[in-house]
Amino acid sequence: MRKSHLVVQIGSKVVRIGNCGDHEPLLTHFWSPEDAFDESLITRLFRVWLQNPLMVDCSKTEILVVENLLLPMAKKMLIYRVFTQNLGIAKVTFVPDALMSLVASGLRNGLIVDVGWEHLMVIPVFDLRIIDHGLQISTKGGSWLADQISTVLSTGAESTSEKVIERLLCQAVELTDKDILLRNVIDQEFVGEKAADNFDLDDFPIIPLIMRAYDSLAVDVRESLKKQVVFSGLAFWTPALRTHCELLLPEFRVVESLGPWTGGSLYFEQLIRSDSLERFEKSKPAPNDWHLQKFEVYK
């Protein structure tokens, strides 16, 4: 059996797995944050998935893990241990999901706005390198928003934050009093405005956090990132939220992305091709010509 190459994205709410080179994952599994990163559960799930539907030989399989930028080292080691020790995977490589979102946009430079479950992050990237001093982090992620929704709305309302945001930000929908209250929370506390500065350092909404990241960058870097804003996480799956943010930032340009998993699939495929080409170049026979070989050293 030939080598297999898989792309895996593991988050607090969802797991995606599929074959390298595909445009979308073969399997998507949703779980609760309480169950996420449980070693026995991950081992059991992946043991089943690797047999069916993926049908791969673990000893001949390489996996690219698309990881969250703030993934703790303990959880990273847990994932590595599950794949290499528990399942016998041949090789495991980790890459940040922010960079893969940028790759899925066809870009090397950009501002990544990642609305994750635990954190909201704005990540400046230049030439596929994260600019650490410009990284901005807030606690207003999907978990914070879900708490606000459950507090304001009554039992029986929509179960997902995506559906709630899509409905509230749609101008054609008539809103109830509770809807208006929640819409104000989203506008003021979650999305925010440019000039808003009455927040704690780790509590900024989306728009002010983007401006803080932008203002922290060097002048020559700013302009190359200004027109290349990529949304990831909750904002990627919620077009109404993305459009709302775009209207509040007219001088910025939002670029569509296919998502971090697809970016990882494209990136992994390119790595495999580059490695194959390098091996091919090294294995080519040396030309039987003195002039071409006079600078070659053979041991």
Pick from 160, 166, 157, 135: which is nearest to 145 by CA? Answer: 160
Please, which pLDDT band fits residue 178 given cuts at 50, 70 and 90? confident
What is the residue whose two structure tokens read 């399942």? 87
- Specify whether 118 is located in the same domain as 34: no
Does a structural domain hold residue 152?
yes
Please, which pLDDT band fits residue 153 given cuts at 50, 70 and 90? confident
Are the C-beta atoms of 110 and 125 separated by less than 8 Å?
yes
Does a structural domain hold residue 197?
yes
- Specify whether 83 is located in the same domain as 196: no
Check which CATH number belongs to the domain holding 119 and give it.
3.30.420.40
Averaged pLDDT for residues 212-223: 91
Q: Hey, which of 81-95, 172-186, 237-251 has the most confident mean pLDDT?
A: 81-95
Q: How far apart are CA 169 and CA 131, in angstroms?
A: 32
pTM greater than the 0.75 cutoff = yes
3-class DSSP state of 222:
helix
Domain range enclosing 44: 4-100+259-283
Residue 47 has pLDDT above 90, yes or no: yes
Q: How far apart are CA 193 and CA 209, in angstroms?
A: 10
Does a structural domain hold residue 234?
yes
Are the C-beta atoms of 163 and 137 separated by less than 8 Å?
no
Cα–Cα distances (Å) from 92 to 41, 144, 164, 268, in that order, read 19, 32, 37, 12
Please, which pLDDT band fits residue 197 given cuts at 50, 70 and 90? confident
Number of domains in the chain: 2
Does a structural domain hold residue 289?
no
Please, which pLDDT band fits residue 182 given cuts at 50, 70 and 90? confident
- Specify whether 76 is located in the same domain as 20: yes
pLDDT of residue 157: 45
- Specify whether 207 is located in the same domain as 129: yes
Report the phi/psi class of residue 205: left, alpha or beta, with left for phi > 0 and alpha for psi in -120 to 50: beta
Does a structural domain hold residue 297?
no
Cα–Cα distances (Å) from 93 to 9, 51, 65, 83, 132, in that order, read 12, 21, 6, 11, 21
3-class DSSP state of 267:
helix
- Specify whether 180 is located in the same domain as 227: yes
- Specify whether 124 is located in the same domain as 214: yes
- Specify whether 93 is located in the same domain as 168: no
Cα–Cα distances (Å) from 2 to 5, 126, 260, in that order, read 10, 36, 26
Does a structural domain hold residue 193?
yes
Does a structural domain hold residue 293?
no
Burial of 165 (0-12, 13-18, 19+ CB in 10 A): buried
- Provide the residue type at 299 as one letter: K
- Specify whether 243 is located in the same domain as 267: no
Q: How far apart are CA 26 and CA 154, in angstroms?
A: 36
- Specify whether 67 is located in the same domain as 161: no
Q: How far apart are CA 237 and CA 257, in angstroms?
A: 11
Q: How far apart are CA 227 and CA 31, in angstroms?
A: 35
- Specify whether 266 is located in the same domain as 230: no
Pick from 231, 242, 117, 249: which is nearest to 169 by CA? Answer: 242
Q: Tell me: the pLDDT tens digits for 120-138?
A: 999 999 999 999 999 999 9
- Specify whether 77 is located in the same domain as 143: no
- Specify whether 200 is located in the same domain as 69: no
4 or 287, greater pLDDT:
4
pLDDT of residue 296: 53
Does a structural domain hold residue 288?
no
225 or 161, greater pLDDT:
225
Pick from 245, 27, 18: which is nearest to 115 by CA? Answer: 245
Q: Tell me: the pLDDT tens digits for 58-96?
A: 999 999 999 999 999 999 999 999 999 999 999 999 999
